[in-house]
Amino acid sequence: MAGPRRDTRGIVEARELLARVDFRRREPAPELRPYLEHYWLIDWDLTEPYASHVVPHPSVNLVFQQYGDEEPWAEVAGIGQGLFTQKLEGRGRVCGVQFRPGGFRPFAPGRPVSDWTGRRVPLTQAYADLGPVRGPDEPDGSEGPVGPVAAGTSHVAAEVRRVVGPDDEDARVAALDAFLLGLAPAPDPQASQAMALVDRVRADRSIRRVAELAAREGVSTRSTQRLFSAYVGVGPKWVILRYRIHEALERAETDPAALDWSALAAELGYSDQAHLVRDFTATVGVPPTAYARSAH
């Protein structure tokens, strides 16, 4: 891992958001890097409300958050299949964990990742459903929940406060590291395979169909679909499409005046510009040319 990404892919009107909030990405502890994209930290102090919009990545997120003087809380956010909108106002803070696509399953091995898709589950409920969580040095046969997520909401509340409470950013990162390491993720070859396949889709624009991805891996299309359902949470076709839209969105942000949408459609593997316009509009909510004019 070369460090956190610096792009703004997935953020709608990224310049507007970054002008209003303090947004950073941080690298997790070395032991966690095989599973995580990065931590993302946001602080804001706004004089008027602002609605942020994100086209979600094919990633599960663990989100610790506090709004104003309310009690902080945390949730497991499965992959959102539509545009995600969050209203920000007053003061607030979010400390998020973005897992690599396929990287969440080792932290919650009791169910397929597709079970989380489209859901936002409070942390206490998420791990209560999954059963006891072992500490990193606890044998498999131990009785009762140990580690950071213990029985009772008070223990979880204390962990959430450890993450979002400190003003020192390094302390927040250290608390996230401690929390995740306490969940004792175990290496899983299928998780590694899923992460590698998604990385291939993200990096190789020549992969435009699920059958092509499966053939390069030397497995059947059906096996690829089952792997993605169990370990990523959405199908491979959805991932291919979503990365295309992320690319189009970022290009519209960075150089809208010079953007040739017909050429971009061909570059991203669309049969024609109309198909790109349809997918972009359905995902972002406005046609790409209108979005580009707004960004410009």
Q: What is the pLDDT of residues 177-220, one digit of tens each?
A: 999 999 999 999 999 999 999 999 998 888 989 999 999 989 99
Q: What is the pLDDT of residues 20-69, one digit of tens each?
A: 999 999 999 999 999 999 999 999 999 999 999 999 999 999 999 999 98
Q: How many CB atoms lie within 10 A of CB 287?
A: 14
The pair of three-digit structure tokens given for residue 165, joined into one six-digit string = 């409470």
Report the C-alpha gap between 60 and 62 in whole angstroms.
7
In the block, tokens 């059947």 appear at: 220
- Provide mean pLDDT across the span 141-158: 51
Domain shared by 140 and 219, yes or no: no
Task: Give percent of the chain above pLDDT 70.
Answer: 89
Residue 137, pLDDT > 80, answer no
Domain stop point among 182, 202, 229: 182
Q: What is the pLDDT of residue 232?
A: 98
Domain of residue 26: give its range: 11-182
β-pair partners for 65: 73, 94
Contact of 60 with 97, CB cutoff 8 Å = no
Confidence of residue 146 (pLDDT cuts 50, 70, 90): very low
- Provide mean pLDDT across the span 133-152: 39
Helical ranges in the chain per DSSP H = 14-20, 123-130, 153-164, 169-182, 189-203, 210-217, 221-231, 236-254, 261-267, 273-284, 288-295
- Of 91, 90, 93, 98, give the one whose Cα is nearest residue 54: 98
Residue 133, pLDDT > 80, answer no
Domain shared by 158 and 276, yes or no: no
Report the C-alpha gap between 34 and 181 in whole angstroms.
12
Examine residue 155 and state whether it is found in any structural domain, yes or no: yes
- Of 19, 26, 290, give the one whose Cα is nearest residue 176: 26
Domain stop point among 182, 202, 224: 182
Domain shared by 76 and 108, yes or no: yes
Q: What is the pLDDT of residue 288?
A: 87
Examine residue 6 and state whether it is found in any structural domain, yes or no: no
pTM for the model:
0.87
239: CATH: 1.10.10.60
Domain shared by 286 and 168, yes or no: no
Domain shared by 127 and 238, yes or no: no
- Provide mean pLDDT across the span 92-97: 97
Domain stop point among 128, 148, 182: 182
Number of domains in the chain: 2
Domain shared by 168 and 254, yes or no: no
Domain shared by 200 and 254, yes or no: yes
Examine residue 80 and state whether it is found in any structural domain, yes or no: yes
Examine residue 217 and state whether it is found in any structural domain, yes or no: yes
Domain shared by 64 and 133, yes or no: yes
Examine residue 256 and state whether it is found in any structural domain, yes or no: yes
Phi and psi angles of residue 67, each rounded to the nearest 5 degrees, phi first: -120, 115
Examine residue 253 and state whether it is found in any structural domain, yes or no: yes
Report the C-alpha gap between 237 and 210 in whole angstroms.
6
β-pair partners for 87: 51
Domain shared by 81 and 108, yes or no: yes
| Average pLDDT, rounded, for the chain | 87
Q: What is the pLDDT of residue 130?
A: 46
Domain shared by 229 and 175, yes or no: no
Domain shared by 97 and 234, yes or no: no
- More confident call, 156 vs 235: 235
Domain shared by 213 and 290, yes or no: yes
- More confident call, 258 vs 171: 171
Examine residue 92 and state whether it is found in any structural domain, yes or no: yes
